């Protein structure tokens, strides 16, 4: 093992190099190494020092794996004071990303230069924390209170040019970190630049009204989170205090937050969203090449998939039924790309080039003969899908990957339509496909490992979060959704209102309440599903059918301006429709149900129990490999609050016995719906948690 920190003498210049792959996190060995290197420089003949990192990035932060364990000395904060206190100047070179504790180390240096393309940020709030090594105290002193608070409450990464404008770095340069560092060190020597400590600066005056506006904005954007406002509080308090008093306040805030369940949940989410992409069985499996992607179907989903591929540099051929539909699909894609231009994500020239050179829209399947991977996104009818796959089998080149974007149909049946079931898998995108991060990669019975690996490679190319799922009705996400959505309808039948449900679940942290989601997706979907399931429905199944009444009245949700809520100019986000309560009351009367009041706690308890129970079944059956795969699916595809870590993490947090007790209690009145998952029962019996199944 190489030393994580080296000290090299380059004539009058000392160079300290952090070398701790993969991202130079400041684990205890790096911290100790940096103290020793700073001491070596102080004791040396060198007159100026460069602090830089080896590898792909500057320091990406504290070592998150150490969080939650007993902190070992030297602490990062102490180390940074040690560097700042040096009596000889030290310049830091930032390349890649300087994040969290990494940026704080840079702020402890007397000068900073950034390589072109470098970025800095204080993303601690993404982990339920605040900067804990001086970030909330030094950054306001360097660039002012408002821009500093904006940076650490948004967790955004600030590019090198903006850093220069804000005064975070002295220069943006090209070359290697060593060349850039040596050049700036020579400038320090030539111009006799002094030691310059940010801790000795004062915060420039700012308008309290600007701070109040920022605080309101931050609070509104981060409902339920506890860390963001705490970060502002310690920064503001620190500005009026001697520097080290401010540091004490920051440290207190950092440690208070370290003890919170939100911190544990968000760190679980951080590692889980990386773990989903590394399946042990795919280690060393080489994915097939991806350059030309076929998309069948140019509706909202197919168009979104095409845009996602185009924006990631892939060539796309989109097939529609006829020339007119192909043109309509092209127009739709052009519209989505125009939005990207409007939002500054794409230049008009690049948009024009994509449409002219990278996209073909046609009704001729033969155009797919050299496609590397084809994604079918047509109507959710098995016969239509089978027809598409029969055609693809006849036309696509050997080795092409054939994927279905179905949300619930059996991929094994679809694969059986081809002579190459080993090349078939499910790629379940979420709408809008060019925005939503989640991609369920569905492994069918005969999917070859390199085909599965190609699904993951596509996700990486599209910058999506891939989760491997097995074949079942709804895969991971929609299958679990069906369970907790049914529990919702039960509660409404028993007396809760859809509006109360939405309010309570949004207060819990969901991005959108379940009935608002239904309005967005379209009330016709639930209606058609009920129709489809009616002939085979078990008589013991309880379900709400007020949606049929809404459907008959043409109230299909947002798209018709009216569903559970009314959407108009007066309330574009929707206001409750009082008539809905009458419709539901009639259904209760028809079914002989006497309504009763529900508390917020009861709603959350039952909703979550239904979600966790079905999730346990999904893991128990191997549809999801690990509980963390469920967590990531719900976090990225279903608006589950990140600060609660996902349903399985939440279940561990509240206790599996409690979840099982809720299920057992509910089973007394409905033992058809409330059947405890065997895995949940087993874990409770063994005194274990879902987290125990995430290892390995």
Minimum distance from CB of 548 to ligand 3H9 (Å)? 47
Minimum distance from CB of 93 to ligand 3H9 (Å)? 17
Q: Does 123 bind ligand 3H9 (CB under 6 A)?
A: yes
Binding residue for ligand 3H9, selected from 4, 89, 101, 128, defined by CB under 6 A: 101
Name which of 118 and 603 has its Cβ closer to ligand 3H9: 118
Q: Does 124 bind ligand 3H9 (CB under 6 A)?
A: yes
Name which of 105 and 424 has its Cβ closer to ligand 3H9: 105
Minimum distance from CB of 178 to ligand 3H9 (Å)? 21
Binding residue for ligand 3H9, selected from 89, 131, 140, 563, defined by CB under 6 A: 131
DSSP secondary structure string for all residues of 217-267? HHHHHTTT-SHHHHHHHHHHHHHTS-HHHHHHHHHHHHHHHHTSHHHHHHH
Give the whole-angstrom CA distance, residue 349 versus residue 339.
14
Q: Does 100 bind ligand 3H9 (CB under 6 A)?
A: yes
Q: How many CB atoms lie within 10 A of CB 564?
A: 28
Among residues 314, 311, 316, the alpha carbon closest in space to that of 345 is found at 311
Give the whole-angstrom CA distance, residue 267 versus residue 271.
6
Stretch that binds ligand 3H9, among 93-101, 237-245, 456-464, 549-557 (CB under 6 A): 93-101
Query: Tokens 């939503």 belong to which residue?
Result: 436
Minimum distance from CB of 291 to ligand 3H9 (Å)? 22
Minimum distance from CB of 117 to ligand 3H9 (Å)? 13
- Per-residue string for binding with ligand 3H9, 49-68, x by CB under 6 A? --------x--xxxxxx---
Query: Tokens 């060198």 belong to which residue?
Result: 46
Residue 376 CB partners (closer than 8 Å, separation 6+): 296, 297, 385, 388, 389, 392, 402, 403, 404, 405, 406
Name which of 311 and 616 has its Cβ closer to ligand 3H9: 311
Residues tagged active-site: 104, 124
Minimum distance from CB of 251 to ligand 3H9 (Å)? 8
Give the whole-angstrom CA distance, residue 395 versus residue 391.
6
Binding residue for ligand 3H9, selected from 33, 108, 132, 304, defined by CB under 6 A: 132
Q: Does 629 bind ligand 3H9 (CB under 6 A)?
A: no
Stretch that binds ligand 3H9, among 126-134, 406-414, 475-483, 606-614 (CB under 6 A): 126-134
Name which of 131 and 297 has its Cβ closer to ligand 3H9: 131
Give the whole-angstrom CA distance, residue 25 versus residue 498.
47
Say if CB 136 and CB 130 are below 8 A apart: yes
Give the whole-angstrom CA distance, residue 235 versus residue 246.
8
Give the whole-angstrom CA distance, residue 561 versus residue 568.
6
Write the burial class of residue 83 (CB in 10 Å: 0-12 exposed, 13-18 middle, 19+ buried): buried
Give the whole-angstrom CA distance, residue 338 versus residue 330.
12
Name which of 75 and 391 has its Cβ closer to ligand 3H9: 75
How far is residue 629 CA from its own chain's centroid? 13
Backbone dihedral region for residue 91 (phi beyond 0: left; psi -120 to 50: alpha; all else: beta): beta
Give the whole-angstrom CA distance, residue 493 versus residue 591.
9
Give the H/E segment covering residue 173: strand 171-173
Q: Does 280 bind ligand 3H9 (CB under 6 A)?
A: no
Beta bridge partners, 360, equal 317
Q: Does 274 bind ligand 3H9 (CB under 6 A)?
A: yes
Minimum distance from CB of 33 to ligand 3H9 (Å)? 16
Give the whole-angstrom CA distance, residue 127 versus residue 288.
35
Q: Does 235 bind ligand 3H9 (CB under 6 A)?
A: no
Q: Does 466 bind ligand 3H9 (CB under 6 A)?
A: no
Minimum distance from CB of 265 to ligand 3H9 (Å)? 15
Name which of 446 and 460 has its Cβ closer to ligand 3H9: 460
DSSP annotation of 404 reads: E
Q: Does 532 bind ligand 3H9 (CB under 6 A)?
A: no
Residues in the chain: 696
- Phi, psi angles (nearest 5°) of residue 476: -80, -55
Say if CB 460 and CB 277 are below 8 A apart: yes
Q: Does 97 bind ligand 3H9 (CB under 6 A)?
A: yes
Encoded tokens for 541 = 């199944």
Minimum distance from CB of 275 to ligand 3H9 (Å)? 7
Name which of 65 and 397 has its Cβ closer to ligand 3H9: 65
- Per-residue string for binding with ligand 3H9, 8-27, x by CB under 6 A? --------------xx-x--
Q: Does 104 bind ligand 3H9 (CB under 6 A)?
A: yes
Name which of 135 and 140 has its Cβ closer to ligand 3H9: 135
Q: Does 371 bind ligand 3H9 (CB under 6 A)?
A: no
* CA distance between the termini of the chain: 24
Minimum distance from CB of 284 to ligand 3H9 (Å)? 15
Give the whole-angstrom CA distance, residue 448 versus residue 453.
9
Stretch that binds ligand 3H9, among 130-138, 139-147, 499-507, 548-556 (CB under 6 A): 130-138
Question: Is the alpha carbon torsion for 64, 68, 71, 77 positive or negative?
Answer: positive
Binding residue for ligand 3H9, selected from 99, 373, 424, 480, defined by CB under 6 A: 99
What is the size of the binding site for ligand 3H9 (CB under 6 A)? 24
Minimum distance from CB of 22 to ligand 3H9 (Å)? 4
Binding residue for ligand 3H9, selected from 13, 49, 127, 359, defined by CB under 6 A: 127
Give the whole-angstrom CA distance, residue 265 versus residue 640.
12
Write the burial class of residue 162 (CB in 10 Å: 0-12 exposed, 13-18 middle, 19+ buried): middle
Binding residue for ligand 3H9, selected from 52, 79, 133, 232, defined by CB under 6 A: 133
Name which of 74 and 224 has its Cβ closer to ligand 3H9: 74
Name which of 253 and 297 has its Cβ closer to ligand 3H9: 253
Query: Tokens 């939440």 belong to which residue?
Result: 650
Tell me the longest C-alpha to C-alpha distance in the chain.
91
Name which of 61 and 641 has its Cβ closer to ligand 3H9: 61
- Residues near ligand 3H9, by CB under 6 A: 22-23, 25, 57, 60-65, 76, 97, 99-101, 104, 123-124, 127, 131-133, 135, 274
């Amino acid at each position: 093992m190489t030393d994580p920190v080296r000290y090299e003498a380059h004539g009058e210049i000392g160079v300290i190099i952090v070398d701790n792959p993969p991202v130079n996190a400041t684990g205890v060995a790096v911290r100790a190494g940096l103290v020793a290197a700073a001491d070596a420089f102080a004791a040396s003949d060198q007159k100026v020092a460069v602090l830089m990192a080896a590898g792909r990035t500057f320091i990406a932060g504290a070592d998150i794996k150490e969080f939650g364990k007993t902190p070992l000395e030297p602490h990062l904060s102490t180390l940074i004071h040690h560097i700042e206190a040096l009596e000889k100047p030290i310049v830091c070179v930032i390349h890649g990303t300087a994040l969290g504790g990494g940026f704080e180390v840079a702020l402890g240096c007397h000068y900073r230069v950034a390589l072109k393309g470098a970025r800095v940020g204080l993303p601690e709030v993404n982990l339920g924390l605040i900067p804990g090594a001086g970030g909330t105290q030094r950054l306001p002193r360097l660039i002012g209170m408002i821009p500093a608070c904006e940076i650490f409450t948004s967790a955004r990464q600030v590019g090198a040019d903006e850093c220069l404008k804000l005064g975070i770095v002295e220069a943006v340069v090209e070359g290697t970190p060593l060349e850039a560092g040596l050049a700036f060190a020579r400038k320090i020597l030539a111009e006799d630049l002094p030691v310059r400590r940010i801790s000795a600066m004062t915060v420039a005056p700012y308008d309290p009204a600007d701070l109040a506006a920022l605080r309101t904005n931050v609070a509104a954007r981060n409902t339920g989170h506890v860390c963001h406002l705490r970060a502002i509080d310690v920064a503001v308090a620190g500005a009026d205090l001697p520097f080290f008093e401010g540091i004490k306040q920051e440290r207190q805030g950092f440690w208070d937050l370290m003890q919170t369940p939100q911190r544990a949940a968000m760190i679980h989410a951080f590692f889980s969203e990386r773990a989903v992409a590394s399946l042990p069985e795919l280690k060393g499996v080489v994915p097939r090449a991806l350059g030309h992607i076929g998309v069948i179907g140019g509706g909202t989903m197919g168009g979104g998939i095409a845009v996602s591929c185009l924006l990631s540099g892939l060539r796309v051929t989109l097939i529609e039924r006829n020339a007119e539909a192909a043109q309509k699909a092209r127009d739709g894609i052009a519209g989505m790309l125009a939005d990207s231009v409007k939002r500054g994500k794409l230049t008009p020239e690049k948009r024009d080039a994509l449409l002219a050179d990278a996209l073909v829209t046609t009704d001729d399947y033969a155009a797919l003969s050299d496609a590397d991977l084809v994604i079918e996104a047509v109507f959710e009818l098995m016969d239509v899908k089978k027809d598409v796959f029969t055609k693809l089998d006849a036309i696509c080149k050997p080795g092409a990957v054939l994927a279905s974007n179905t949300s619930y149909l059996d991929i094994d049946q679809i694969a059986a339509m081809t002579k190459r079931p080993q090349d078939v898998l499910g790629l379940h995108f979420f709408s809008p496909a060019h925005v939503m991060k989640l991609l369920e990669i569905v492994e069918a019975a005969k999917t070859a490992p390199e085909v599965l690996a190609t699904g993951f490679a596509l996700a990486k190319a599209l910058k999506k979060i891939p989760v491997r799922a097995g074949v079942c009705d709804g895969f991971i996400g929609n299958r679990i959704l069906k369970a907790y959505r049914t529990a919702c309808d039960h509660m409404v039948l028993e007396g809760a209102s859809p509006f109360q449900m939405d309010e309570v679940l949004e207060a819990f942290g969901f991005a959108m309440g379940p009935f608002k989601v239904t309005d967005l997706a379209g009330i016709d979907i639930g209606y058609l599903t009920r129709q489809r399931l009616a002939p085979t429905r078990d008589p013991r199944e309880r379900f709400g059918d007020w949606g049929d009444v809404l459907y008959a009245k043409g109230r299909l949700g947002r798209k018709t301006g009216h569903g559970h809520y009314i959407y108009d100019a007066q309330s574009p986000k929707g206001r409750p429709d009082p008539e809905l309560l009458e419709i539901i009351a009639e259904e209760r009367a028809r079914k002989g149900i006497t309504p009763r009041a529900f508390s917020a706690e009861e709603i959350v308890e039952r909703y979550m129990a239904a979600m966790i129970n079905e999730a346990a079944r999904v893991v128990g059956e191997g549809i999801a490999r690990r509980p963390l795969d469920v967590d990531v699916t719900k976090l990225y595809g279903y608006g589950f609050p990140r600060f609660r870590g996902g349903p399985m993490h939440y279940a561990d947090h509240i206790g599996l016995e409690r979840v099982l007790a809720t299920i057992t209690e509910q089973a007394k009145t409905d033992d058809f719906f409330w059947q405890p998952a065997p895995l949940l029962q087993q874990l409770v019996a063994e005194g274990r948690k879902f987290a125990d199944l995430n290892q390995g």
